[in-house]
Amino acid sequence: MIVGIDAGGTLIKVAYTEKGKVHFEKYPIAEMEQVADWVNGLGDCQVCVTGGKSGVLVSLLNQSVQEMVEFEATHLGVQVLLKEMNLLEDAYLVTNVGTGTSIHCIQDNVQERLGGTGVGGGTLIGLSHLLTGVTRYDEIVELASRGSRDRIDLKVKHIYEGKEPPISGELTASNFGQDLFSISSDLTKEELLATVIGLVGETVSTVSVQAARQCRSSTIVYIGSSFIDNPLLKEVVKSYTILRGSVPVFPDNGEFSGAMGAMSVL
Ligand code: ATP
Ligand code: MG
């Protein structure tokens, strides 16, 4: 069996090939020991690990394993996914919305990290929890999908009252920017959570389309577990990316790119 593991700040992603078939699993980082026990019990296998927590995982393993820088692993994994979708181009951007967000330009098989933002999936969970008390990711995204941002976000058209704005009035001028003092106790969890996802999605896509200027492509491949079962985040990121003239791609299993890339070198 060959096994690729991406141990990130929040989730451990595992890709393994057994009898020619690829399997994917993910675990919370708190279950690191169970993942290590599983690997230790496999017997004859080859393992490659990547991600910020890979050092901790390696210290729990009985066998020697290969290690890889996560940016390289992610790049290789995305290449495999794009090939499968017949979308592989000579140049594209990759935005990985993990706990934090990292942006990369891939040109002629070489990846370069262009930057990122601390606004990512960790912000999504953390800010959501602080505002509403909700702890579970699936509950956060479900409630958010039923919420409206209308009473919380300030749009350009709200500022340009009675006057034609120089840019689209529908753009967000200020996330959480409306006069909230008088309605704060009246706002629902659904509204607050939808607005948190709006903040994360608009920040991630704004930084990505700006980074695209440093890359000779305008295709942006969005990956990371923050998109799992999260159609609202996808929609915010997709519409903003298109509005700014770039082409968004959301590959299936994109959150397993790092694990797949690690597996691909074995
Ligand atoms: P990083 O790459 O920044 O080190 P990571 O690899 O752990 O972190 P991902 O797994 O890509 O990051 O994404 C983590 C995010 O995915 C979380 O912050 C959260 O928003 C979202 N998420 C999706 N499913 C879950 C889940 N079951 N539990 C917790 N968070 C989840
Ligand atoms: Mg990661």
Query: What is the best residue among 70, 99, 123, 129 to mutate for testing ligand 1's pocket, by most ligand atoms within 8 Å of CB?
Result: 99
Cβ atoms of 159 and 171 closer than 8 Å: no
Tell me which residue has tokens 């020991």. 33
Tens digit of each residue's pLDDT (9 = 90 or more) over 52-72: 999 999 999 999 999 999 999
Residue 185's pLDDT is 96
> Are 79 and 178 found together in one domain?
no
Is residue 106 assigned to a domain? Answer: no
> Are 123 and 237 found together in one domain?
yes
> Are 184 and 206 found together in one domain?
yes
The DSSP annotation for 13-69 comes to EEEEEETTEEEEEEEEGGGHHHHHHHHHTS-S-EEEEESTTHHHHHHT-SS--EE--
- Number of domains into which the chain is organized: 2
Q: What is the mean pLDDT of residues 76-90?
A: 96
Tens digit of each residue's pLDDT (9 = 90 or more) over 5-27: 999 999 999 999 999 999 999 99
> Are 149 and 260 found together in one domain?
no
33 tagged catalytic: no
Is residue 103 assigned to a domain? Answer: no
Q: What is the ipTM of this complex?
A: 0.99
> Are 121 and 246 found together in one domain?
yes
Tens digit of each residue's pLDDT (9 = 90 or more) over 250-262: 999 999 999 999 9
Is residue 70 assigned to a domain? Answer: yes
> Are 152 and 170 found together in one domain?
yes
CA of 167 to the centre of ligand 1 (A): 34
Average pLDDT, the chain: 97
Residue 133's pLDDT is 98
Structural Rg of the chain based on CA atoms: 20
Is residue 104 assigned to a domain? Answer: no
Is residue 184 assigned to a domain? Answer: yes
Is residue 100 assigned to a domain? Answer: no
Confidence of residue 4 (pLDDT cuts 50, 70, 90): very high
> Are 221 and 155 found together in one domain?
yes
Q: 26 lies in which domain range?
A: 2-86+256-264
CATH code of 224's domain: 3.30.420.40
> Are 66 and 159 found together in one domain?
no
Shortest CA distance to 59 belongs to which of 36, 30, 43, 28? Answer: 36
> Are 216 and 182 found together in one domain?
yes
Exposed, middle or buried, 14 (CB in 10 Å: 0-12/13-18/19+)?
buried
Tens digit of each residue's pLDDT (9 = 90 or more) over 169-208: 999 999 999 999 999 999 999 999 999 999 999 999 999 9
54 lines ligand 1 (CB under 6 A): no
Tell me the C-alpha distance between 203 and 159, whole Å. 20
Cβ atoms of 193 and 144 closer than 8 Å: yes
Exposed, middle or buried, 48 (CB in 10 Å: 0-12/13-18/19+)?
buried
